[in-house]
């Protein structure tokens, strides 16, 4: 492990992910934040946008044009889908490693992306070199990568809830139903009619029914684990809370199963994964809020002969920013938990 500090840029400062990345990187012993960009706020101190950083991170925001004018070790792209791809194409030869927090390189091909995102993809070559940044599954590949596609928040919680069973090829075909709920920050920082306070407060609803774009991401990754094409039923819901994701996944399994065997299977699969905590009670979103943990609780229902797997993450952290930092740690050969040992904030 090297002791020098690496220089990082955060591209896209105005959103929740950009500010959470800054919060984590500011306290990371191996990192120097060289620049933070925002096209609409050039020249303003970062702390004007995010007052929680006053006197801690006041650097002036710059335009993304400045990124290739300075030597950088890593560029975090905290940009919307459809925007990141152009920057990846532009900076691919810059010598910096790129961690993209959008969905632009998470899927297997340009064709799959265009079908599910309903957008043209301008840099299909990126799919060949990008690595899916879920450290619990792909740490080795991530450590050798120059372009990491940081996973979606729902897919992170969903994949980790069922990964041990898919890895052991124990899931019955087409039996998986994933019922997922997210806090409001998952919708991004720009308010709209759906995210208006009066629409969200004391309300609860499903959206993206039978076709949410995270479905294909979950299917591709769990399919990679089991070695075949799979199909899942995925339904997201909007919770009237700030942050957190709770996934309840249901599946039929092949062969004989009991609680002891199921628990052992999960324990064995996650034994050397420091940020997946196997719980013996169902986790709530406050058990992980503000942390990089994914809490998982697998239950065997003897009566229906189904596995019910529950997982909880903070959508802005394990679902976005801290996952990106975990990937950076792997790419630069730092101990994987460097800068990521925050305890959950509760209540």
| Catalytic (active site) residue 294 | no
Helices (H) then strands (E): counts for the chain: 11, 13
Backbone phi, then psi, for 118, in 5-degree steps? Answer: 55, 40
Distance of CA 265 to the CA centre of its chain: 24
Q: What is the CA radius of gyration of the chain?
A: 20
Q: Give the C-alpha distances (Å, rounded to integers) separating 219 from 20, 84, 156, 177, 204.
A: 28, 23, 12, 12, 26
> Where are any strands of DSSP class E within 144-227?
147-149, 176-182, 205-206
Residue 246: strand pairing partners: 181, 312
Active-site option among 24, 77, 98, 153? 153
Report the alpha-carbon distance of residue 289 to residue 327 in Å, rounded. Answer: 20
Q: How far is CA 270 from the centre of its chain?
A: 18
Dihedral-angle region of residue 12 (phi above 0 means left; psi in -120 to 50 means alpha; beta otherwise): left
Q: What residues act catalytically?
A: 153
């Amino acid at each position: 492990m090297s002791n020098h500090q690496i220089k990082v840029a955060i591209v896209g400062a105005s959103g929740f992910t950009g500010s959470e990345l800054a919060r984590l990187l500011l306290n990371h012993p191996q990192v120097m934040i060289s620049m933070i960009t925002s096209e609409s706020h050039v020249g303003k101190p970062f702390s004007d946008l995010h007052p929680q950083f006053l006197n801690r991170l006041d650097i002036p925001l710059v335009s993304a044009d400045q990124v290739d004018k300075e030597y950088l070790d890593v560029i975090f792209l905290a940009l919307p889908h459809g925007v990141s791809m152009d920057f990846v194409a532009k900076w691919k030869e810059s010598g910096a490693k790129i961690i993209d927090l959008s969905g632009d390189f998470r899927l297997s091909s340009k064709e799959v992306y265009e079908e599910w995102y309903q957008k043209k993809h301008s840099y299909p070559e990126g799919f060949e070199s990008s690595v899916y940044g879920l450290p619990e599954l792909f740490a080795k590949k991530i450590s050798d990568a120059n372009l990491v596609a940081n996973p979606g928040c729902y897919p992170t919680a969903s994949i980790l809830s069922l990964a041990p069973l898919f890895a052991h090829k124990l899931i019955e075909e087409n039996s998986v139903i994933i019922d997922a709920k997210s806090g409001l920050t998952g919708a991004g920082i720009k308010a709209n009619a759906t995210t208006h306070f009066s629409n969200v407060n004391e309300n609860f609803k499903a959206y993206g029914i039978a076709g949410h774009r995270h479905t294909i991401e979950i299917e591709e990754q769990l399919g990679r684990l089991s070695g075949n094409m799979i199909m899942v039923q995925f339904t997201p819901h909007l919770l009237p809370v700030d942050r957190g994701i709770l996934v309840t996944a249901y599946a039929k399994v092949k062969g004989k199963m009991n609680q002891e065997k199921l628990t052992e299977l999960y324990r064995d699969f996650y034994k050397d994964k420091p940020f997946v905590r196997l719980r013996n009670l169902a986790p709530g979103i406050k058990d992980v809020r503000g942390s990089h943990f994914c809490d998982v609780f697998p239950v065997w229902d003897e009566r229906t002969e189904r596995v019910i797997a529950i997982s909880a993450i903070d959508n802005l952290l394990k679902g976005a920013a801290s996952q990106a930092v975990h990937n950076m740690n792997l790419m630069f050969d730092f101990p994987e938990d460097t800068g990521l040992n925050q305890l959950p904030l509760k209540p």
